[in-house]
Amino acid sequence: MDRPSRALYAGYERAPARSYLHGIGYSNEDLARPVVGVFHSWTDMM
């Protein structure tokens, strides 16, 4: 299964992105996992 998150760092053209991620501590195993983001739109401002 090809995940949409792979478009962020897969392929030769995304080598700079992978080098940045390796520089901040991501391993190859981390990059093999899907990228998941969690957010909410709740606000306390009225």
pTM: predicted TM-score of the whole model, two decimal places? 0.59
pLDDT at residue 24, rounded to an integer: 95
Instruction: Specify whether the CB–CB gap between 5 and 30 falls below 8 A.
Output: no
pLDDT at residue 25, rounded to an integer: 95
Selected residue with higher pLDDT from 19 and 5: 19
Question: Domain range spanning residue 14?
Answer: 9-33
Whether residue 24 is contained in a domain is answered as: yes
Selected residue with higher pLDDT from 9 and 26: 26
pLDDT at residue 3, rounded to an integer: 66
pLDDT tens-digit readout, 10-42: 788 888 988 998 999 999 898 888 878 888 887
Three-state SS at 2: coil
Whether residue 46 is contained in a domain is answered as: no
Rounded Cα distance, 31 and 10, in Å: 9
C-alpha dihedral, 19 to 21 to 31 to 25, nearest 10°: 110
Q: What is the total count of domains within the chain?
A: 1
